[in-house]
Amino acid sequence: MKMFVILGATGKIGRATIGMLRQNGLPVRAVVRNPSKAHELRACGCDIAVADLRDMPALVEATKGASAVQVICPTLVQAENASAEMAATIGAIAEALRQTRPARILAISDYGAQLPTGTGITLTFHHLESELKKLPAALTFLRSAEHMQNWGRGTGRALQTGVLASLHHPVSKTFPTVSAGDVGLIAADLLLADRNDAMRIVHAEGPRRYSAVDVADALSKIAGREIVAREMPRQDWISVLVAGGMSASYAQLVTDLFDVHNAGQIDAEQGVGEIRYGKTELRAALSALVPSTLTAKV
């Protein structure tokens, strides 16, 4: 019998993938780091495996017997050396899969992962793709646009001050973005297709592209008060990100990414693969980030 193993099962992407696979009656092993968060997954019929994604022997046990594995590399926002720790995680995942040899691997990757240098945090996904290409498996790289949920980091401040500070410059520039849950649904659809391409690249973004101005406008409608988008001064990026809970190392990677993003270099790879479009509009995704006590009464 086929067994689908989902790493990062308690995240928004993993939960959405698992939900669709289970709706189709397929066996799923959900890999979690904290077993206390596995109750809902167990209740929907998942087998549960406990493994830290940096623990290679535990990952070997978790992925044994898998016909397909969905891989995600967590972004360690508080790591002292974020690049090194994420590289170690990728190494552990790749070695475990080399030993257990699943027939199919679907990796959640990132827009811009094709670029080999200068993309900050996105270099993690370039490294992930490079390591997985060494394995004898049918590979699908699902490259995700920026998640709409990332705006949650600045939502509270925007609601307090009426100003949405943006690393997207200019604030009128549109960019691809997608709800994390939609990425999980697209991943499930790709797994259900049961194709065995040697390598397949799929890009995931939302139903349309948005700007920071669109984000501020959506928040205004949700909260019932005016919120305007303004460019965060470039010299303030790292200090603001660190104040928001990131390590200096991770904040530098985010800064490097937005430098190339604002230069127009982060997008779907031209002429490669396909684009799948999620259905969740920006306002719907942002509504889930705003406390109900702060939403407009309509």
The pLDDT of residue 134 is 97
Q: Which residues of 151-178 are buried (b: 16+ CB within 10 A; e: fewer)?
A: beebbeebbeeebbbbbbbebebebbbb
Residue 144, beta-bridge partner list = 110, 204
What does each C-alpha distance from 223 to 29, 220, 292 come to in angstroms?
40, 5, 9
From the list 21, 8, 17, 190, the residue with the least C-alpha distance to 104 is 190
The pLDDT of residue 196 is 82
Cα gap 90→59, rounded to integer Å:
12
The pLDDT of residue 7 is 98
The pLDDT of residue 195 is 82
In sequence order, what are the residues at sequence separation of 6 or more whose Cβ sits closer than 8 angstroms to the Cβ of residue 160?
A: none
The pLDDT of residue 297 is 44
The token pair at 234 is 């470039």
Contact call for residues 5 and 29 (beta carbons, < 8 A): yes
Per-residue pLDDT tens listing for the chain (298 residues) = 789 999 999 999 999 999 999 999 999 999 999 999 899 999 999 999 999 999 999 999 999 999 999 999 988 899 999 999 999 999 999 999 999 999 999 999 999 999 999 999 999 999 999 999 999 999 999 999 999 999 998 999 999 999 999 999 999 999 999 999 999 999 999 999 988 888 999 999 999 999 999 999 999 999 999 999 999 999 999 999 999 999 999 999 999 999 999 999 999 999 999 999 999 999 999 999 987 545 654 3
The pLDDT of residue 298 is 37
